[in-house]
Amino acid sequence: MLIQVEITSFAVDPNRSIPLIILRELAGNRSIAVPIGPLEASAIAMHSLQVQTDKPLTIDLVKITIEQLGASLLRAVISDVQEQQFTAVLQIQAGSSVKVIESRPCDAIGLALRCNCPIFVKDTVFAKVNSDDELSEQENLRKHIKSIDTVEFGRFVLE
């Protein structure tokens, strides 16, 4: 099932120092944080702030290309997440057919904003992301400790 979402804010992942875009479902309280690259974050922010550029950005060229081919973007869908790596698809109407094109989530979100089309997240993505949130505090701590590079501690090993 597809859940329509909206962009509620931008953030930075303190552990990895990468930009995040926060998507929240329209008819509920669930939200997810999708990592995006710094250049894509800039392009999305520029669009949100209505900053005009002398030359079109790559995402603008994609929008222009879609329009010039007589097609339109129907929706962007965050379709899966595996080990904190999100995937997305674009659904493009071209004549009487709908083409589904794989995309990075940041590009799908940026293009959806420029084309004024809805953004969706598959319900299974919410379920996968929120299953990590349901871990107990002790399990989260254990998971974090296991992720630490023990080489930094010399001859000591964390277990």
* pLDDT tens per residue, range 131-155: 655 444 555 555 555 555 545 444 5
Query: HSE-up of 138 (CA within 13 Å, CB side)?
Result: 0
Gap between the Cα atoms of 105 and 145, Å rounded: 29
Fold of 2-133: Bifunctional nuclease domain (3.10.690)
Residue ranges of domains in the chain: 2-133
Q: Quickly state the pLDDT bin for 68 (edges 50, 70, 90).
A: very high
Q: Are the C-beta atoms of 105 and 78 separated by less than 8 Å? A: yes
Q: Are strands 71-82 and 119-122 parallel, antiparallel or unpaired?
A: parallel
Helix ranges, the chain (H): 38-48, 58-68, 105-114, 123-133, 137-147
* pLDDT tens per residue, range 23-52: 999 998 889 999 998 888 888 888 888 888
Q: Are the C-beta atoms of 112 and 92 separated by less than 8 Å? A: no
Predicted pLDDT of residue 143:
57
* pLDDT tens per residue, range 80-124: 998 889 999 999 999 999 999 999 999 999 999 999 999 999 999
pTM above 0.95, yes or no: no
Residue whose structure tokens are 């392009």: 43
Gap between the Cα atoms of 137 and 91, Å rounded: 39
